[in-house]
Structure 1
Amino acid sequence: MKLTKYTHACVRLDKDGKVLLIDPGSFSEDAVFEAADAVLVTHEHPDHLDVQRIKALDAPVYTTAGVAAQLTELGERVHVVAHGQAFDAAGFAIHAYGKDHAIILPELGVPCENVGFLVEDAVYHPGDSFTRPDRQVHTNLVPISGPWFSLPPAVEYARSVTATQLVGIHDALLSPIGQGLLKRFFDDESRPYHGLTPGESLEVN
């Protein structure tokens, strides 16, 4: 399976001729929306959900109730999923984890529902949360920036998930200097960290 990172939190997975998109949002390149056999959306914030461009795709969407409410015209192509569910999306085996977006400010409480996705027991995307999967993964996608981000819980999250490698996501607010600084906190010999640039790919075994 090939993983390609795009701007911010968007990831494309290719397997056996099928394309799975995760969190194609407002920062995502137009090329992201050229082909998709299925789409996963972790939550309703626009940096993860570009409503108009997702509507233009002829693909099923698996997501939260909040996102589904914005895609009602797609009818039965939209599937609401929740923590603990396992399902198939275009030939990819998916498990859903968690229910809450990380808190941005205490007085605002939980902003919205957020569900993380584990694809093929190999790639885990937590959306805007540090929710952990209940099993070992090959590639753990680690948020490294954002209004809700804090470094200590991010490092704790990365250390607590048994993974072969880490890939940084949710990084559009960081300068190249900031991205390089974050790498030092996540990278180690047993579990290397990859700060992929948009359009860069790696293989997931």
Structure 2
Amino acid sequence: MEALNKICGVAAPMPLINIDTDMILPKQYLKTINRSGLGKHLFEEIRFRPDGSEIADFILNKPAYRDAKILIAGDNFGCGSSREHAPWALNDFGIRCMISTSFADIFFNNCFKNGMLPITLPQAEVDVLMQDAERGANARMTVDLDAQTITASDGTEFAFDVDPTRRHNLLNGLDEIGLTLEKIEQIEAYEAAAETRFPWLHTPLPTNTR
């Protein structure tokens, strides 16, 4: 998993509340287990017309936001069904940080599992960042996970909290397997001791000769 420390870039404002996972990525794209290639379908039903042409006034189709790395979202972002493909699509598009007043629990957890940073802030602070994002390509924000700060384009700084374990995982590019492998020496030592202490647990079962 790619490590995440500091994100500097354009933030796209999406103030709509209750953006669900089906809006983020429609259900017809859930068949794949490949995490790449889903970015082109991100927000498909509100980003494109039925003929595939772009809806010009959709935020991510505007020139200033085509390379957005941060999303400033309305309340309850990622609600709906528990599809992990939704954060896959956001990540594949290039968005690695989302800021909102609240996220659906499963979506929130899935973001961390995929190297993405969802940040929860009070409404007043989200409003300031939303207004800053609306300024377009000249308003570049910085999200510093190590310092746990967000810096708006005018230098205004906001602090945020992240669970220490999740912060460690993101900073070091660790998923749950990678986190486990950090303890590989202790695991191997335990297994060696267990084999000596409980040898019957490690004896092969007899082969059925019938």
- TM-score, structure 1 normalization: 0.29
- TM-score, structure 2 normalization: 0.29
Which structure exhibits the higher relative contact order, with contacts defined as CA atoms closer than 8 Å and separated by 6 or more residues?
Answer: 2
Q: Which has the higher strand share?
A: 1
Q: Which has the higher helix share?
A: 2
Pair member with larger Rg: 2
